[in-house]
Structure 1
Amino acid sequence: MSGSEDLLELAVETAREAGRMLVDKRPVDGPDVVQTKSSPTDVVTQMDRAAERLIVERIRAARPDDAFLGEEGGTSAGVSGVRWVIDPIDGTVNYLYDLPDWAVSIAAEVDGVAVAGVVEMPRRGETCTALRGGGALLRSATGARDLQVNAAVPLGQALVATGFGYAAERRARQAEVLTGVLPRVRDIRRGGSCCVDMCSLAAGRVDAYYERGVQAWDVAAGSLIVEEAGGLVGGLHGAPAGPEITIAAGPGTFEALHDLLAPLDPARD
């Protein structure tokens, strides 16, 4: 087993344990909101924090010299060259409302490059995984299958996933951009979880994805899964994907969506 495979095995085991905990221990009347971040709608629940603690503790017990970057503050330096990028609940508002589209996302980076990633979707009963250079898989109760993006889908036939920020001003701007996109594509889907959207793209359930405001922990595992499923992930004009704008799609569709978005200036608030 290679080093990357070892990292993936640890990530999968840990994500599944965190996912089970989040399902089993979710309060019947919903989790408590313990913090808001960028706006009153950008929430953190006690379960986000509990899941991140579990993930960091499990990985640190196995690999005490690694670094961590976690959405809820579980960030620390390391000396091994490996960093774990963690989103304990991607889609917290969905989790808060007991909607199914939320996930645990864990990626392992070696010297700054993601080499293994898992997106665990407990309420869907699905796990997406990827190894750099080793492809991407979807595992469910019915077995495992290779992931492959849809390529060269004309924009007019493309189902496009997106998401919106939390600040009112940013949402207003994103709505303006959406009015330029919606008439040119098959339809829009807004699921509420970046990494679930990226797994849907990798599985061919949508044809493209774009969003402003996603952070490293949102896309670290999902981007690797998309790339290993044959897709492209980037920003505008050759820039890398990041908080300014993240675009993901299969070859051909990616370029068309990029060229549609660029004049709409989607990175401006």
Structure 2
Amino acid sequence: MNRDLAAARDLAATVAVQAGRLQLERHDTLRVGAPKAHANDVVSDVDIASERLIVDAITAAWPDDAVQAEEGHGRPGTSGWMWVVDPLDGTRNYISRTGPWSVCVALYEGDQPRVAVVHEPVADETFSAVDGGGAFLNGVSLQVTGGPSLDKALVGISFQPNPATKDRAGKVIRDLLPVSGDIRRLPAALNLAYQAAGRLDGGLCLDTNLWDIAAGALIAREAGVILGGHGDDFTPELTIGAAVDLWPELSALVRAVLVS
């Protein structure tokens, strides 16, 4: 089934910006619900309203597509295409006003990511990509350079805040921080998008979900970031990204810590 990928990207960008505006408008009146998987896995009524806005728009445009969405508004489909939606990646940052968050929308054809949008509402920045068509920030092309050595590199780290993953992340940070330029903890989608923009030289995401990394990974890849995991393919369990010159050092260190 043919699909106008530019039109899909434009719709994804439009609804992501609309959801971002809703999040800014409702920041002072949000209500936090009960934790989900664990005490640090929080959700607000704004997450749910944002997801409903995005899924309703997608369903109206492509009613036969499947949707996989974090807050439960997913649906099966018959077209072979699937939208992957994280309406608010970085909910705890959003609730506590302690850092950035983003709206993430990706489109898959089978198991192949074809379209991606990550929108950061506060900065009004929209990262986007089409498979084979490059990555962009507010319409300006992104292309990473070779990158620095690890001792000068700024590295992003993202992880699910459950006890087991925090323990694994702590081991990586223990070995990475002394030998890197510095590290930053970020939500997974912005970790990957910032690598695409050259703001981070590399990064890793531990024990995420597909909706956390689907959009950011395509944007990073299209900008020239090398991606991998325990092997050549990245997974939600482990996604490592880096500029080409940094990749050997960073990937070797991360893999050594997590395998040991």
TM-score, normalised to structure 1, is 0.91
Deviates more, 1:105-114 or 1:243-252: 243-252
Q: List per-residue Cα deviations over 1:157-185 (Å, max 9, x = no partner).
A: 11100023322233133212211111111
Q: What is the root-mean-square deviation in Å for CA atoms of aligned residues?
A: 1.7
> Do structure 1's residue 176 and structure 2's residue 175 form an aligned pair?
no
Q: How do residues 1-269 of structure 1 correspond to structure 2 at under 5 angstroms?
A: 3-26=4-27, 28=28, 31-139=30-138, 144-191=139-186, 193-238=187-232, 240-265=233-258
Q: How far did 1:152 drift?
A: 4.2
Note the residue ranges of structure 2 that are not aligned, 5 or more in a row: none
Aligned residues: 259
Q: Do 2:159 and 2:188's aligned partners in 1 also have CA atoms closer than 8 Å?
A: no
Structure 1 consecutive aligned stretches of length 4 or more whose deviation exceeds 3 Å: none
CA distance in 2, matches of 1:229, 1:77: 31
Normalised TM-score (structure 2): 0.94
| Shift of residue 100, structure 1, vs aligned partner | 4.8
Deviations 1:115-142 (A, max 9, x none): 1111011101111010111111111xxx
| Worse-superposed segment, 30-39 or 67-76 | 30-39
The C-alpha deviation readout for 1:49-99, integer Å capped at 9, x for no partner, is: 111111110110111111000011122111111110000000001110124
Q: Is the 8 A contact 1:100 1:124 kept in 2?
A: no
Deviates more, 1:98-107 or 1:204-213: 98-107
Q: 1:149 Cα deviation (Å)?
A: 2.1
SS at match of 1:13: helix
Identity score, percent? 36
CA distance in 2, matches of 1:10, 1:156: 41
Cα deviation, 1:1-37, whole Å, max 9, x if unaligned, reads x7111111111111111111111122x2x52221312
